[in-house]
């Protein structure tokens, strides 16, 4: 199971707040999802707990491939097949956490 990196975010009264560097990642990942899945304004309502797989009908296996490719291009990272699992795409927060960890390596 994917673990949340608490160096990248903090929790207060049940809400999770990302650091300023991670906020940039949040915005960039939202843009990728908005553009790839044609979410329009719905992308702005994505929160750390928003489900992706099984929660967004547009987010199917073909969309996963496109999102991964766009993330690699946007962040200048390489994501190996063995790094990907359903856990990465469980929620918007799990995806942002994964991208943040990869981008800092």
Residue 71 to residue 73: CA distance in whole angstroms: 5
The pLDDT, as a whole number, for residue 23 is: 77
Burial of 96 (0-12, 13-18, 19+ CB in 10 A): buried
Residue 39 to residue 27: CA distance in whole angstroms: 14
Q: Which of 31, 9, 1, 33 minimizes the C-alpha distance to 97?
A: 9
User: How many C-alpha atoms does 28 have within 13 Å on its Cβ side?
Assistant: 19
The residues, any chain, with a CB within 8 Å of residue 89's CB and separated by 6 or more, are: 52, 53, 59, 64, 95
Assign domain 22-103 one CATH number from 3.40.50.11930, 1.10.10.10, 1.20.1250.20, 1.10.1200.10.
1.10.1200.10
| Token pair for 9 | 């975010």
Q: State pLDDT tens for residues 1-38.
A: 444 444 444 444 444 455 556 678 999 999 999 999 99
Q: State pLDDT tens for residues 30-71.
A: 999 999 999 999 999 999 999 999 999 999 999 999 999 999
The pTM score is 0.80
What are residue 7's DSSP bridge partners? none
Where helices occur in 1-105 by DSSP H, the ranges are 20-37, 61-75, 92-103
């Amino acid at each position: 199971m994917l673990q949340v990196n608490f160096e990248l975010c903090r929790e207060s009264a049940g809400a999770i707040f990302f650091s300023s560097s991670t906020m940039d990642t949040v915005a960039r990942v939202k843009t990728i999802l908005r553009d790839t899945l044609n979410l329009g304004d719905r992308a702005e309502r994505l929160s750390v707990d928003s489900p992706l797989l099984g929660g967004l009908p547009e987010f199917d296996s073909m969309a996963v491939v496109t999102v991964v490719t766009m993330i690699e291009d946007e962040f200048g990272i390489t994501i190996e097949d063995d790094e990907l699992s359903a856990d990465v795409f469980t929620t918007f927060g799990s995806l942002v956490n994964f991208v943040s960890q990869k981008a800092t390596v």
